[in-house]
């Protein structure tokens, strides 16, 4: 609400009740209060958009602060600066006069400075006989001192919001890559499902991302993509379970007893001594076995294990399990630790865990201890191979781009 006819002697803008209130508030600064002027300037810079300022507004504020001789703004100090427009233009890097006046008005509207007007509308200081400034007319910096805590809070919120936006964009990018890789791998593997329709859904979601998205835009699309990723993983997981469970359990047991060259448990027997005097508890026909991802996804995430497969290749899950036996021994994982992993996770997932450990072997002190920890967590329902495989898939994908 404007008062109407009252204007400043500088003739710029009508005086408002809000401006009057801010001027009154500057007289209520706590006694002895001080603040480092460049710190509060940084806070104002971070809060620029919240205050309705532009980059040139900050350049003008920087110039005004430079005319204040001390490093700290103090409640008991003379906080009025009185540079001419020519001096301000010089310190504002040659800003045009009209631009300078516009941004001075923005600083006043934002409540960072207050005009202290002389009778003739000029900016100057009146000194006493000792040469000290007795009274000054120009721009009062008191509002910056009075609002220092408020500006700091606004700046912190802006920084937090910027950080949240950056993390949301990163998560969106990662999720986009995950969904794209899962769809591509599923198509290449020939997995059952209407992958063309799923891909169309993915393309539609990506197309909804604005050129300059807000945090709300990113969060909304990220939620949709995460749901799509979860649906794809569930579809692949259900298919893997269905494929494995379609195999006759008795047929599996027969292989376990008769084929040392193909059986995981016969290749890696555990003695009663290794099991603490207890007979080995192998997977029964009712034990659920799950393959976390299609084999192609696993091999893309963990390409090193391919060299240890039969004839230096991995053509199926049994080849992967055979390669895992070789790698298990090479990494120093005991037969008992690996057998426990097979019984808890299932042989396919235990082989995938070994492949993942091989990829990160340089960062793991004890492969056997690490595998036992994963096994224990899996037994408690606290561990899933999915995030580990996807992390390696992203890592190896980025490494491939760098080498290319």
Q: What is the reported pLDDT for 269?
A: 39
pLDDT of residue 277: 43
Question: Where are the strands (E) in 40-94, listed by range?
Answer: 72-74, 80-81
Contacts of 133 (CB under 8 A, 6+ apart): 78, 125, 126, 127
Query: Which of 299, 289, 284, 291 has the alpha carbon at shortest distance from 356?
Result: 299
> What is the rounded distance in angstroms from the CA atom of residue 84 to the CA atom of residue 25?
26
pLDDT of residue 371: 92
Distance between CA atoms of residues 46 and 36, nearest Å: 16
Residue 7: in which H helix or E strand, if any?
Answer: strand 2-7
Instruction: Determine the pLDDT at residue 226.
Output: 87
- Which residue has 């259900």 as its token pair? 238
Predicted TM-score (pTM) of the model is 0.52
**Cα torsion for 90, 96, 101, 103, to the nearest 10°?**
-90
Q: What pLDDT sits at residue 313? A: 87
Could you report the average pLDDT of every consecutive run of 10 residues in the chain (404 residues)?
39 52 62 90 92 91 92 88 90 90 92 85 75 79 91 93 92 90 82 81 87 89 87 74 46 41 40 42 40 75 89 86 88 88 89 91 88 90 82 72 55
């Amino acid at each position: 609400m404007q008062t109407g006819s009252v204007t400043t002697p500088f003739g710029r803008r009508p005086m408002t009740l809000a401006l009057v209130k801010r001027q009154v508030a500057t007289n209520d600064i706590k006694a002895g209060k001080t603040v480092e002027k460049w710190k509060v300037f940084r806070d104002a810079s971070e809060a620029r958009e919240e205050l309705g300022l532009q980059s040139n507004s900050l350049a003008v504020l920087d110039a005004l602060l430079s005319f204040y001789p001390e490093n700290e703004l103090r409640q008991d100090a003379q906080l009025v600066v009185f540079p001419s427009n020519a001096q301000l233009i010089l310190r504002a890097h040659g800003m045009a006069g009209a631009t300078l006046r516009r941004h001075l008005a923005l600083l006043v509207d934002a409540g960072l400075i207050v005009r202290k007007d002389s009778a003739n509308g000029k900016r100057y200081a009146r000194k006493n006989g000792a040469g000290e400034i007795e009274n000054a007319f120009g721009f009062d910096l008191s509002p910056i001192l009075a609002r220092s805590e408020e500006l700091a809070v606004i700046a912190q919120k802006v920084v937090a919001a910027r950080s949240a936006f950056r993390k949301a964009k990163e998560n969106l990018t990662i999720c986009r890559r995950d969904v794209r890789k899962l769809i591509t791998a599923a198509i290449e593997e020939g997995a059952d499902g209407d992958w063309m329709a799923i891909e169309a859904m993915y393309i539609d979601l990506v197309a909804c991302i604005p050129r300059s998205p807000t945090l709300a835009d990113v969060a909304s699309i990220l939620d949709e993509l995460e749901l799509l990723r979860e649906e794809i993983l569930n579809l692949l997981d259900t298919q893997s379970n269905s494929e494995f469970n379609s195999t006759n359990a008795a047929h599996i047991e027969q292989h376990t007893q008769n084929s040392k060259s193909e059986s995981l448990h016969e290749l890696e027997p555990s003695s009663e001594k290794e099991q603490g005097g207890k007979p080995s508890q192998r997977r029964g026909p009712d034990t659920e076995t799950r393959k976390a991802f299609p084999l192609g996804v696993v091999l893309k995430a963990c390409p090193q294990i391919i060299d240890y497969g039969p004839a230096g290749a991995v053509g199926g899950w049994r080849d992967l399990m055979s390669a895992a036996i070789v790698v298990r021994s090479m990494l120093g994982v005991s037969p008992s630790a690996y057998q426990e992993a097979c019984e808890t996770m299932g042989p396919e997932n235990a082989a995938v865990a070994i492949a993942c450990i091989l990829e990160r072997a340089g960062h793991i002190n004890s492969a056997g201890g690490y595998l036992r920890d994963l096994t224990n967590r899996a037994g408690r329902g606290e561990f899933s191979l999915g995030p580990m495989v996807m992390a390696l898939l992203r890592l190896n994908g980025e490494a491939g781009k760098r080498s290319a």
